[in-house]
């Protein structure tokens, strides 16, 4: 029966080791992965002590449980190192959105292109949206040509990941940075709002 002091305590994910393994017998695996076979728990603990190793339960649901002889402290340290390295290498993707009109003013175009170039240089993807209004909807080629022009103007920094496609009154294209572009740390002091995702990021967006 659980004591009052243990109620609400988090369930431990640590495997049972040494004297905490309380079963009559275990299926023992040696330090190099060799199968020793089913042995009494007393014999397994004795072998662990003689080898200056720990007896670690690696498959508690098996019948009998599977235990392995290992240096548990070293194992935990190496596992923590691998986990940190994995998190360090995880690629984060920030998707920005830049909106343009099909008949954009030349000066406005340069400004918007500058934003797109900056986003790509920071390692972010960019969702470029052309917004059509009124009769402009009958001239989708204007938006297509504008998106092609923008892609060519920033080709040194990124490439077209998703070709232009019509989406209601909008036309959308997604640009992605070249692989050589490193993702910089995400900052929030510029007033921009970021969407942070894993490598398989969906097309969520941020308006500049």
| Position 53 pLDDT exceeds 70 | yes
Q: Which residues contact 198 (CB under 8 A, 6 or more apart)?
A: 90, 91, 92, 93
Tens of pLDDT, residue by residue over 126-162, are: 999 999 998 888 889 999 999 999 999 999 999 999 9
Mean pLDDT, the chain, integer: 82
CA-CA distance, 120 to 176, in Å (whole number)? 7
For residue 146, report the phi and psi dihedrals to the nearest 5 degrees.
-65, -40
Distances (CA, A) of 64 to 60, 70, 75, 108: 8, 19, 23, 72
147, 164 contact by CB (below 8 A): yes
Tens of pLDDT, residue by residue over 15-35, are: 899 999 999 999 999 999 899
């Amino acid at each position: 029966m659980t004591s009052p002091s243990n109620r609400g305590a988090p369930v431990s994910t640590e495997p049972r080791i040494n004297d905490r393994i309380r079963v009559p017998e275990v299926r023992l695996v040696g330090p190099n992965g060799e199968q020793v076979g089913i042995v009494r728990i007393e014999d397994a603990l004795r072998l662990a002590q003689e080898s200056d190793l720990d007896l670690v339960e690696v498959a508690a649901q098996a019948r009998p449980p599977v235990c392995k002889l290992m240096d548990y402290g070293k194992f935990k340290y190496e596992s923590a190192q691998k986990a940190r390295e994995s998190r360090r290498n995880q690629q984060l993707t920030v998707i920005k959105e830049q909106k343009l009109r099909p008949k954009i003013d030349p000066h406005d175009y340069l400004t918007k292109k500058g934003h797109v170039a900056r986003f790509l240089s920071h390692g972010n993807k960019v969702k470029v949206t052309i917004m059509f209004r009124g009769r402009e909807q009958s001239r989708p080629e204007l938006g297509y040509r504008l998106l092609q022009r923008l892609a060519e103007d920033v080709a040194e920094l990124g490439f077209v990941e998703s070709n232009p496609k019509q989406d209601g009154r909008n036309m959308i294209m997604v640009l992605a940075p070249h692989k050589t572009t490193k993702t910089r740390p995400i900052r929030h002091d510029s007033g921009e709002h970021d969407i942070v995702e894993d490598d398989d990021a969906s097309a969520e967006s941020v308006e500049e």
